[in-house]
Structure 1
């Protein structure tokens, strides 16, 4: 029996977009709009998906040691999608924790209030 996993980088980026759309704009979508942080999320997911750069075929008999174990790859399209979404959610949490200070600095710089008196009162 063969299972084919087809995770292309473009499909992963598209799924990241969909998952990020479910998060609040501030701070999640703002944080992952930063190119370096978004790239870290993409890399986080790619590293954790077997054969993410192309389709790969997996034999159920593990004769070849270079093959990915069948138990590591989801078998149905729904399992593939859920596995990918789970990895994206994990990556978002991990990166937000690891980069919290940097994200806070960057986001606070963009929304610093202007320190001028208001002219509204006359």
Structure 2
């Protein structure tokens, strides 16, 4: 049987990113991190700064747990998500403002011209 190594920390990180983004305004935060490249940068930012847990699964076996999830680890991931959101937004700000129209400019988009 084929075995696969699965990162148990990844689903936890994705969940904390979703939760953290809910606390921020739609523009520019939620819109920026809806872009797959920026979302991946945020995930990588967090995963590279936190201890990761892994498991080995047999082919066809599903993983239904996040592994050990201490309060300290949850808080660490939550803080890294908020820190990463700010750092990545700042680092890519010029790119973001050129690729995501602001909320005040959204009415100028062609899709809104004809109702």
Question: Using the alignment, how far apart are the partners of 1:31 and 1:112 within structure 2?
Answer: 18
2:84 equivalent in structure 1: 91
SS of residue in 2 equivalent to 1:49 = coil
Q: Which has the larger radius of gyration?
A: 1
State the TM-score, normalizing by the size of structure 2: 0.68
Residue segments in structure 2 that go unaligned for 5+ positions in a row: 1-6, 56-68
- Counterpart of 1:13? 14
Aligned equivalents of 2:10 and 2:46: distance in 1?
10
Find the counterpart in structure 2 of residue 101 from structure 1: 94
Tell me the equivalent position of 1:24. 25
Higher relative contact order (CA 8 A, sep 6+): 2
CA distance in 2, matches of 1:108, 1:96: 15
Moved over 6 A (4+): none
SS of the equivalent of 1:48 reads: coil
Aligned CA RMSD, in angstroms, stands at 2.7
Q: Deviations over 1:3-59 (max 9, x none)?
A: xxx952111111111111111111100000000000000000000012x2527xxxx
Give the TM-score, by structure 1 length.
0.64
Q: 1:1-122 residue pairs with structure 2 within 5 A?
A: 8-50=9-51, 52-54=52-54, 77-108=70-101, 111=106, 113=108
CA distance in 2, matches of 1:114, 1:107: 11
